[in-house]
Structure 1
Amino acid sequence: MDQYIRQYGRRLYGLCRTLCASPHDADDLYQDTWLKAVKAFEQYDSARPFEPWLTRICVNTYRSSLRRLARSPIFNGFSTTEEKESALNRVPAPAKPDYLPLYEAIDSLPEKLRVTVVLFYFEDMDIHTTAQVLGVPPGTVKSRLNKARSKLKEVLLDGADLSL
Protein backbone atom coordinates (compact mmCIF):
# COMPACT_ATOMS: atom_id res chain seq x y z
CA MET A 1 0.00 0.00 0.00
CA ASP A 2 2.95 2.34 0.64
CA GLN A 3 3.79 2.22 -3.06
CA TYR A 4 0.25 3.31 -3.98
CA ILE A 5 0.31 6.12 -1.42
CA ARG A 6 3.61 7.40 -2.82
CA GLN A 7 2.36 7.11 -6.40
CA TYR A 8 -1.19 8.46 -6.02
CA GLY A 9 -1.17 10.34 -2.71
CA ARG A 10 -0.40 13.79 -4.07
CA ARG A 11 -3.00 13.56 -6.83
CA LEU A 12 -5.60 12.20 -4.40
CA TYR A 13 -4.94 15.06 -2.00
CA GLY A 14 -5.39 17.53 -4.87
CA LEU A 15 -8.79 15.98 -5.59
CA CYS A 16 -9.72 16.22 -1.91
CA ARG A 17 -8.73 19.92 -1.82
CA THR A 18 -10.78 20.57 -4.96
CA LEU A 19 -13.87 18.83 -3.58
CA CYS A 20 -13.75 20.26 -0.06
CA ALA A 21 -14.24 23.85 0.99
CA SER A 22 -11.67 23.78 3.80
CA PRO A 23 -8.19 22.28 4.12
CA HIS A 24 -9.30 20.53 7.32
CA ASP A 25 -12.17 18.79 5.49
CA ALA A 26 -9.79 17.87 2.66
CA ASP A 27 -7.37 16.30 5.17
CA ASP A 28 -10.21 14.28 6.68
CA LEU A 29 -11.43 13.14 3.26
CA TYR A 30 -7.88 12.15 2.26
CA GLN A 31 -7.38 10.05 5.39
CA ASP A 32 -10.85 8.49 5.16
CA THR A 33 -10.24 7.57 1.52
CA TRP A 34 -6.96 5.80 2.26
CA LEU A 35 -8.48 4.05 5.26
CA LYS A 36 -11.34 2.73 3.14
CA ALA A 37 -8.91 1.76 0.36
CA VAL A 38 -6.81 -0.25 2.81
CA LYS A 39 -9.90 -1.98 4.21
CA ALA A 40 -11.24 -2.79 0.73
CA PHE A 41 -7.88 -3.62 -0.89
CA GLU A 42 -8.74 -7.33 -1.08
CA GLN A 43 -11.67 -6.39 -3.36
CA TYR A 44 -9.42 -4.42 -5.75
CA ASP A 45 -9.06 -6.11 -9.14
CA SER A 46 -5.38 -5.71 -10.01
CA ALA A 47 -6.22 -6.21 -13.70
CA ARG A 48 -7.86 -2.77 -13.65
CA PRO A 49 -6.19 0.62 -13.12
CA PHE A 50 -5.76 1.58 -9.45
CA GLU A 51 -6.36 5.33 -9.76
CA PRO A 52 -10.02 5.19 -10.93
CA TRP A 53 -10.76 2.70 -8.14
CA LEU A 54 -9.17 5.00 -5.56
CA THR A 55 -10.89 8.08 -7.03
CA ARG A 56 -14.25 6.34 -6.86
CA ILE A 57 -13.68 5.60 -3.17
CA CYS A 58 -12.82 9.27 -2.62
CA VAL A 59 -15.88 10.58 -4.48
CA ASN A 60 -18.20 8.14 -2.71
CA THR A 61 -16.69 9.08 0.67
CA TYR A 62 -17.19 12.75 -0.18
CA ARG A 63 -20.81 12.16 -1.18
CA SER A 64 -21.44 10.24 2.04
CA SER A 65 -20.06 13.12 4.08
CA LEU A 66 -22.36 15.53 2.21
CA ARG A 67 -25.38 13.33 2.98
CA ARG A 68 -24.33 13.17 6.63
CA LEU A 69 -23.91 16.94 6.70
CA ALA A 70 -27.32 17.48 5.07
CA ARG A 71 -28.94 15.40 7.83
CA SER A 72 -27.05 17.29 10.52
CA PRO A 73 -29.19 19.17 13.07
CA ILE A 74 -27.11 22.27 12.34
CA PHE A 75 -28.47 22.38 8.80
CA ASN A 76 -32.02 21.36 9.68
CA GLY A 77 -32.84 24.90 10.79
CA PHE A 78 -33.62 25.88 7.20
CA SER A 79 -37.24 26.16 6.17
CA THR A 80 -36.74 24.71 2.67
CA THR A 81 -34.35 22.41 0.85
CA GLU A 82 -33.51 25.26 -1.54
CA GLU A 83 -32.46 27.44 1.39
CA LYS A 84 -30.22 24.65 2.69
CA GLU A 85 -28.69 24.04 -0.75
CA SER A 86 -28.13 27.76 -1.19
CA ALA A 87 -26.23 27.89 2.12
CA LEU A 88 -24.11 24.89 1.12
CA ASN A 89 -23.40 26.41 -2.30
CA ARG A 90 -22.14 29.62 -0.71
CA VAL A 91 -19.25 27.77 0.97
CA PRO A 92 -16.20 29.04 -0.90
CA ALA A 93 -14.00 26.60 -2.74
CA PRO A 94 -10.23 26.83 -2.36
CA ALA A 95 -9.03 28.69 -5.41
CA LYS A 96 -6.16 30.62 -6.86
CA PRO A 97 -6.95 34.35 -6.91
CA ASP A 98 -6.70 34.48 -10.73
CA TYR A 99 -9.45 31.87 -11.11
CA LEU A 100 -11.66 32.74 -8.16
CA PRO A 101 -14.78 33.64 -10.22
CA LEU A 102 -14.49 30.37 -12.15
CA TYR A 103 -14.02 28.30 -8.99
CA GLU A 104 -16.97 30.02 -7.34
CA ALA A 105 -19.13 29.34 -10.39
CA ILE A 106 -18.06 25.68 -10.41
CA ASP A 107 -18.70 25.42 -6.68
CA SER A 108 -22.25 26.67 -7.17
CA LEU A 109 -23.09 24.05 -9.81
CA PRO A 110 -25.47 21.26 -8.79
CA GLU A 111 -23.48 18.46 -7.15
CA LYS A 112 -23.71 15.94 -10.04
CA LEU A 113 -22.40 18.53 -12.49
CA ARG A 114 -19.72 19.84 -10.14
CA VAL A 115 -18.23 16.42 -9.38
CA THR A 116 -18.23 15.55 -13.09
CA VAL A 117 -16.44 18.82 -13.94
CA VAL A 118 -13.88 18.30 -11.17
CA LEU A 119 -13.04 14.76 -12.27
CA PHE A 120 -12.89 15.57 -15.98
CA TYR A 121 -11.12 18.94 -15.94
CA PHE A 122 -9.22 19.10 -12.66
CA GLU A 123 -8.26 15.44 -12.37
CA ASP A 124 -7.66 15.10 -16.15
CA MET A 125 -9.78 11.98 -16.46
CA ASP A 126 -11.15 11.04 -19.85
CA ILE A 127 -14.87 10.48 -20.48
CA HIS A 128 -14.72 6.73 -19.92
CA THR A 129 -12.70 6.91 -16.69
CA THR A 130 -14.99 9.63 -15.34
CA ALA A 131 -18.00 7.49 -16.22
CA GLN A 132 -16.42 4.50 -14.48
CA VAL A 133 -15.69 6.49 -11.31
CA LEU A 134 -19.19 7.96 -11.20
CA GLY A 135 -20.88 4.70 -12.16
CA VAL A 136 -22.77 6.24 -15.08
CA PRO A 137 -22.66 5.71 -18.87
CA PRO A 138 -20.18 7.82 -20.89
CA GLY A 139 -23.10 9.60 -22.57
CA THR A 140 -24.26 10.84 -19.17
CA VAL A 141 -20.81 12.28 -18.48
CA LYS A 142 -20.87 14.08 -21.84
CA SER A 143 -24.34 15.41 -21.14
CA ARG A 144 -23.37 16.63 -17.66
CA LEU A 145 -20.25 18.33 -18.99
CA ASN A 146 -22.25 20.06 -21.72
CA LYS A 147 -24.85 21.24 -19.24
CA ALA A 148 -22.15 22.41 -16.81
CA ARG A 149 -20.34 24.36 -19.55
CA SER A 150 -23.60 26.07 -20.53
CA LYS A 151 -24.36 27.02 -16.93
CA LEU A 152 -20.80 28.23 -16.34
CA LYS A 153 -20.85 30.31 -19.51
CA GLU A 154 -24.14 31.84 -18.45
CA VAL A 155 -22.98 32.75 -14.95
CA LEU A 156 -19.53 33.99 -15.97
CA LEU A 157 -20.74 36.11 -18.88
CA ASP A 158 -24.07 37.33 -17.51
CA GLY A 159 -23.52 37.11 -13.78
CA ALA A 160 -26.60 34.89 -13.45
CA ASP A 161 -27.23 32.81 -10.34
CA LEU A 162 -26.71 29.06 -10.83
CA SER A 163 -28.68 28.02 -7.78
CA LEU A 164 -32.00 28.55 -9.54
Structure 2
Amino acid sequence: MNTVAATVDEAEFAEWTRPALLPMTRLARRLAPNADPDDVVQDSLARAWLKRHQFDPGRGTPTTWLLAIVADQARSARRARIRRLRVVDDRAELPDAPAHEVAAPDPDLEHAIERLSERQQLAVHLYYFVGVGVDETAAVMGCSPGTVKSTLFDARTRLRALLGETDD
Protein backbone atom coordinates (compact mmCIF):
# COMPACT_ATOMS: atom_id res chain seq x y z
CA MET A 1 0.00 0.00 0.00
CA ASN A 2 1.48 3.35 -0.93
CA THR A 3 1.44 6.40 1.35
CA VAL A 4 -1.07 8.36 -0.74
CA ALA A 5 -3.62 5.53 -0.66
CA ALA A 6 -3.21 5.23 3.12
CA THR A 7 -3.71 8.98 3.57
CA VAL A 8 -6.84 9.03 1.41
CA ASP A 9 -8.17 5.97 3.20
CA GLU A 10 -7.58 7.59 6.60
CA ALA A 11 -9.26 10.81 5.49
CA GLU A 12 -12.24 8.90 4.12
CA PHE A 13 -12.49 6.93 7.35
CA ALA A 14 -12.45 10.14 9.41
CA GLU A 15 -15.22 11.60 7.24
CA TRP A 16 -17.17 8.34 7.39
CA THR A 17 -17.06 8.24 11.21
CA ARG A 18 -17.65 11.96 11.85
CA PRO A 19 -21.51 11.77 11.97
CA ALA A 20 -21.31 9.04 14.63
CA LEU A 21 -18.95 10.81 17.05
CA LEU A 22 -21.61 12.51 19.18
CA PRO A 23 -23.80 9.38 19.55
CA MET A 24 -20.64 7.35 20.28
CA THR A 25 -19.62 9.76 23.04
CA ARG A 26 -23.13 9.80 24.53
CA LEU A 27 -23.24 6.01 24.61
CA ALA A 28 -19.76 5.80 26.14
CA ARG A 29 -20.82 8.20 28.91
CA ARG A 30 -23.95 6.15 29.61
CA LEU A 31 -22.39 2.69 29.53
CA ALA A 32 -19.07 3.47 31.24
CA PRO A 33 -19.74 6.50 33.45
CA ASN A 34 -16.52 6.01 35.44
CA ALA A 35 -14.33 5.82 32.35
CA ASP A 36 -13.18 8.71 30.21
CA PRO A 37 -15.68 8.71 27.30
CA ASP A 38 -13.01 10.11 24.99
CA ASP A 39 -10.83 7.08 25.73
CA VAL A 40 -13.71 4.69 25.05
CA VAL A 41 -14.49 6.45 21.76
CA GLN A 42 -10.80 6.51 20.76
CA ASP A 43 -10.45 2.80 21.52
CA SER A 44 -13.62 2.17 19.52
CA LEU A 45 -12.36 4.15 16.55
CA ALA A 46 -9.04 2.32 16.65
CA ARG A 47 -10.88 -1.00 16.69
CA ALA A 48 -13.17 0.16 13.86
CA TRP A 49 -10.13 1.21 11.82
CA LEU A 50 -8.57 -2.22 12.22
CA LYS A 51 -11.84 -3.98 11.38
CA ARG A 52 -13.14 -1.55 8.74
CA HIS A 53 -13.06 -4.28 6.11
CA GLN A 54 -15.66 -6.18 8.20
CA PHE A 55 -18.33 -3.46 7.96
CA ASP A 56 -21.37 -4.82 6.13
CA PRO A 57 -23.86 -2.13 4.99
CA GLY A 58 -26.48 -4.87 4.66
CA ARG A 59 -26.47 -5.25 8.46
CA GLY A 60 -26.79 -1.57 9.37
CA THR A 61 -25.46 1.92 9.01
CA PRO A 62 -21.93 3.04 9.84
CA THR A 63 -23.31 4.68 13.00
CA THR A 64 -24.95 1.48 14.23
CA TRP A 65 -21.78 -0.50 13.53
CA LEU A 66 -19.70 2.06 15.43
CA LEU A 67 -22.18 2.14 18.35
CA ALA A 68 -21.93 -1.65 18.64
CA ILE A 69 -18.17 -1.29 18.92
CA VAL A 70 -18.58 1.43 21.58
CA ALA A 71 -20.89 -0.87 23.56
CA ASP A 72 -18.24 -3.58 23.46
CA GLN A 73 -15.42 -1.19 24.41
CA ALA A 74 -17.50 0.29 27.26
CA ARG A 75 -18.06 -3.23 28.65
CA SER A 76 -14.31 -3.77 28.49
CA ALA A 77 -13.68 -0.46 30.27
CA ARG A 78 -16.15 -1.39 33.04
CA ARG A 79 -14.55 -4.82 33.48
CA ALA A 80 -11.08 -3.28 33.60
CA ARG A 81 -12.21 -0.78 36.23
CA ILE A 82 -13.75 -3.55 38.34
CA ARG A 83 -10.49 -5.53 38.14
CA ARG A 84 -8.55 -2.44 39.24
CA LEU A 85 -10.97 -1.74 42.11
CA ARG A 86 -10.62 -5.28 43.43
CA VAL A 87 -7.00 -4.59 44.27
CA VAL A 88 -7.88 -1.38 46.11
CA ASP A 89 -8.55 -1.59 49.82
CA ASP A 90 -12.28 -1.11 50.51
CA ARG A 91 -11.44 1.72 52.92
CA ALA A 92 -9.32 3.59 50.39
CA GLU A 93 -10.72 6.78 48.94
CA LEU A 94 -11.50 6.67 45.25
CA PRO A 95 -10.31 9.56 43.08
CA ASP A 96 -12.79 12.30 42.24
CA ALA A 97 -14.78 11.92 39.03
CA PRO A 98 -13.30 13.60 35.96
CA ALA A 99 -14.36 17.23 35.54
CA HIS A 100 -15.98 16.50 32.15
CA GLU A 101 -18.36 13.89 33.62
CA VAL A 102 -21.98 14.98 33.51
CA ALA A 103 -23.89 14.63 36.76
CA ALA A 104 -26.75 12.15 36.69
CA PRO A 105 -30.06 13.98 36.19
CA ASP A 106 -31.94 11.69 38.59
CA PRO A 107 -29.95 9.49 40.97
CA ASP A 108 -32.97 7.24 41.64
CA LEU A 109 -33.46 6.62 37.93
CA GLU A 110 -29.74 6.01 37.38
CA HIS A 111 -29.69 3.50 40.23
CA ALA A 112 -32.79 1.77 38.84
CA ILE A 113 -31.23 1.57 35.37
CA GLU A 114 -28.14 -0.09 36.90
CA ARG A 115 -30.43 -2.83 38.25
CA LEU A 116 -31.73 -3.75 34.77
CA SER A 117 -30.19 -6.61 32.83
CA GLU A 118 -27.21 -5.65 30.68
CA ARG A 119 -29.33 -6.07 27.52
CA GLN A 120 -32.10 -3.83 28.91
CA GLN A 121 -29.53 -1.23 29.97
CA LEU A 122 -28.05 -1.12 26.48
CA ALA A 123 -31.48 -0.73 24.88
CA VAL A 124 -32.47 2.05 27.33
CA HIS A 125 -29.19 3.92 26.88
CA LEU A 126 -29.32 3.72 23.09
CA TYR A 127 -33.00 4.56 22.68
CA TYR A 128 -33.61 7.11 25.42
CA PHE A 129 -30.24 8.73 26.09
CA VAL A 130 -28.38 8.50 22.78
CA GLY A 131 -31.53 9.02 20.72
CA VAL A 132 -31.07 6.09 18.36
CA GLY A 133 -34.28 4.70 16.85
CA VAL A 134 -35.62 1.17 17.26
CA ASP A 135 -34.17 -0.10 13.96
CA GLU A 136 -30.74 1.32 14.73
CA THR A 137 -30.86 0.00 18.30
CA ALA A 138 -31.67 -3.43 16.86
CA ALA A 139 -28.67 -3.21 14.54
CA VAL A 140 -26.36 -2.28 17.42
CA MET A 141 -27.74 -5.04 19.63
CA GLY A 142 -27.77 -7.62 16.85
CA CYS A 143 -31.46 -8.45 17.17
CA SER A 144 -34.78 -7.66 15.53
CA PRO A 145 -36.70 -4.39 16.04
CA GLY A 146 -39.45 -6.43 17.72
CA THR A 147 -36.94 -7.72 20.25
CA VAL A 148 -35.85 -4.14 20.97
CA LYS A 149 -39.47 -3.07 21.47
CA SER A 150 -40.13 -5.93 23.90
CA THR A 151 -36.82 -5.30 25.69
CA LEU A 152 -37.74 -1.62 26.11
CA PHE A 153 -41.25 -2.57 27.29
CA ASP A 154 -39.79 -4.97 29.86
CA ALA A 155 -37.23 -2.37 30.93
CA ARG A 156 -39.92 0.30 31.41
CA THR A 157 -42.05 -2.15 33.40
CA ARG A 158 -39.08 -3.04 35.62
CA LEU A 159 -38.11 0.63 36.04
CA ARG A 160 -41.66 1.53 37.12
CA ALA A 161 -41.55 -1.25 39.71
CA LEU A 162 -38.07 -0.24 40.93
CA LEU A 163 -39.13 3.40 41.20
CA GLY A 164 -42.40 2.52 42.96
CA GLU A 165 -44.62 3.96 40.24
CA THR A 166 -48.03 2.54 39.47
CA ASP A 167 -50.23 2.65 36.40
CA ASP A 168 -53.11 4.89 37.57
TM-score (norm 2): 0.69
Which residue of structure 2 lines up, in the alignment, with residue 17 of structure 1?
29
The residue type equivalent to 2:45 in the other structure is W
Partner of residue 40 from structure 1, selected from 29, 47, 51: 51
Q: Equivalent residue for 2:10?
A: none
Greater CA radius of gyration, 1 or 2? 2
Query: Could you give the per-residue CA deviations for residues 109-138 of structure 1, whole angstroms, max 9, x where no partner exists?
Result: 221111111111112222222112111222
CA distance in 1, matches of 2:110, 2:84: 28
Count of aligned positions = 140
Alignment of 1:1-164 (within 5 A): 1-22=13-34, 24-45=35-56, 48-66=60-78, 72=83, 75=86, 95-97=103-105, 99-157=106-164
Kept after mapping to 2: 8 A contact 1:19/1:26:
no
Query: What is the CA distance between 1:152 and its match in structure 2?
Result: 0.8
Residue 114 of structure 2 contacts residue 121 of structure 2 at CA under 8 Å; is this kept in 1? yes
Deviation at 1:69, TM superposition (A): 5.7
SS in 1 for 2:33: coil
- CA deviations over 1:14-57 (Å, ceiling 9, x no partner): 111111122x4423211110111111112223565210111111
CA distance in 2, matches of 1:144, 1:75: 32
Which position in structure 2 is the counterpart of 1:89?
Answer: none
Q: Using the alignment, how far apart are the partners of 2:111 and 2:61 within structure 1?
A: 32
Kindly tell me: are residues 2 and 101 of structure 1, through their superposed partners in 2, closer, same or farther at Cα, counting changes over 3 Å?
A: same
Identity, in percent, stands at 32
Which consecutive unaligned segments of at least 5 residues does structure 1 have?
A: 77-92, 159-164
Once the two structures are superposed, what CA deviation does each residue of 1:77-111 show, in whole Å capped at 9, x if it has no partner?
xxxxxxxxxxxxxxxx95444x3322222123221
Cα distance in 2 between the residues matched to 1:29 and 1:128 = 24
Asked whether the 8 Å contact 2:135–2:145 carries over to 1, the reply is yes
Amino acid at match of 1:144: T
Whichever residue aligns with residue 24 of structure 2, its letter is L
Root-mean-square deviation (Å): 2.7
Residue 61 of structure 1 and its aligned partner are, at CA, apart by 2.2
Return the letter of the residue paired with 1:146. F
